[in-house]
Amino acid sequence: MHLLEDLEEERAGWPEWRLRAELERTRPPREDLVVCHGDLCPNNVLLDPETGKLTGLIDVGRPGRADRHADLALAMRELSREEDPWFGPHCVQRFVERYGAERVDPAKTAFYQLLDECF
C-alpha cells in the first residue's frame, strides 16, 4: 500500500485509494464555472499596505475555468492556519462574511480542499 506524503493533517497517512474514494464520494453534482486563479492564497495576493485594496495577483500558473469554490477553498484553508501570526479562523469568518456566506457551500469547499491534495 502506497501512502501519500505532504497531506493536510486531517488526512495524514491516507493511501491513494482512500483519497480517490473520498473524492468520488464527495464530488459536487454540478459546478458553478468561473475563471479561477488556481492557487488563490494570501501569498499570491498583492494588497496596497496603506488602503488594503487589491493591487494584483501573482503566481498565476494554474488559471482556468473551474467552480468558484476551487479558489475559495484554498483561500479559506490558508487563511485558517493558526500557525501564521497574520491569520487564523477569525480571518476565514471575516472572508466568508465579506464574500457572502450564502454563496459559500461548505461541502464544495471541503471537496476542493481535498482535491488540492493531488497537486
| 73 lies in some domain | yes
pLDDT above 80 (res 13):
yes
Grid cell of 28 as nine digits: 459536487
Question: Is 39 annotated as catalytic?
Answer: yes
| 108 lies in some domain | yes
| 38 lies in some domain | yes
Domain with 66, as residue range(s), is 29-118
| 2 lies in some domain | no
Q: Using CA atoms of 86, 14, 26, 92 in order, give the dihedral in degrees to the nearest 10.
A: -10
User: Domain total for the chain?
Assistant: 1
Catalytic choice (6, 32, 39, 59): 39
pLDDT above 90 (res 1):
no
pLDDT above 80 (res 72):
yes
| 62 lies in some domain | yes
| 8 lies in some domain | no
- Find the CATH number of the domain harbouring 93: 3.90.1200.10
